[in-house]
Amino acid sequence: MEERLLRILNAADGRLWVTMPPVQEWIQRIRRVQGRTWHPEVKMWSIPDAKETVEELVHHFNSVPVQVASDLLARYPLLQRCSPYGERWRRKFSDALRMKGYSSSTEKAYVSHVERCMQFTGVHIDLMELSHTKKYVLNLLEAKHSHTYVNQAISALRFWFRDVEQRSEGMGQAKAREEAPCRVVC
């Protein structure tokens, strides 16, 4: 059985190679990308080597496993949103939350926080580092989100790093501190 993995490689003449298994749904997706060309002699697609086209490709293939040539990551940081694991992170995360007895509403909230973190940082959760999560949490605080909301985001990311990925480094015991309530003295 062929591996279900989209690969993006360098090509010549201002093009990028895209290889993928002949899955009908994926073929329909790549046909939506402007400037794509099928090369039957090598059984590969090519797309223009341009930011707009790469953005379009990421948009259409954000849920599938994607492998990117390392030199392309520097040129197109947007490709860091892609993961060789595709959307498996979501199933893995949801399963871990259910196994620990979290409610479906907590599961939904945690998954949403991870998605927002990926969107903010432009990095897929499988490739995310602590520095990315810190920037995200600081952004939430600067945007004046409630402390409850920020603490929930911290808890979601901590759960991912500690319980799902079992990484020892992570969010530590950080919590957004609430301001002391104002007391009126008569």
Tell me: the pLDDT tens digits for 92-142?
Answer: 899 999 999 999 999 999 999 998 898 888 788 877 888 999 999 999 999
Backbone angles phi, psi at 22, to 5 degrees: -75, 60
Which H or E run includes 150? helix 147-159
What does the block give as tokens for 137? 């949490």
Predicted confidence band of residue 58 (pLDDT cuts 50, 70, 90): confident
pTM of the predicted protein model: 0.61
The architecture (CATH level 2) of 88-164 comes to: Orthogonal Bundle (1.10)
**Mean pLDDT over the full length of the chain:** 85
Query: How far is residue 57's CA from residue 72's CA, in Å, rounded to a whole number?
Result: 14
Residue pair 8/69 in contact by the 8 Å Cβ criterion: yes
Check pLDDT > 50 for residue 18: yes
Tell me: the pLDDT tens digits for 22-41?
Answer: 989 999 999 999 999 999 99
Task: Report the DSSP beta bridge partners of residue 37.
Answer: 46
Strands (E), 36-104: 37-39, 44-48, 66-68
Q: Are strands 6-10 and 66-68 parallel, antiparallel or unpaired?
A: parallel
Query: How far is residue 84's CA from residue 4's CA, in Å, rounded to a whole number?
Result: 10
Which residue in the block uniquely carries the two structure tokens 């993995």? 5
Per domain, the residue ranges of the chain are 6-81, 88-164
Predicted confidence band of residue 90 (pLDDT cuts 50, 70, 90): confident
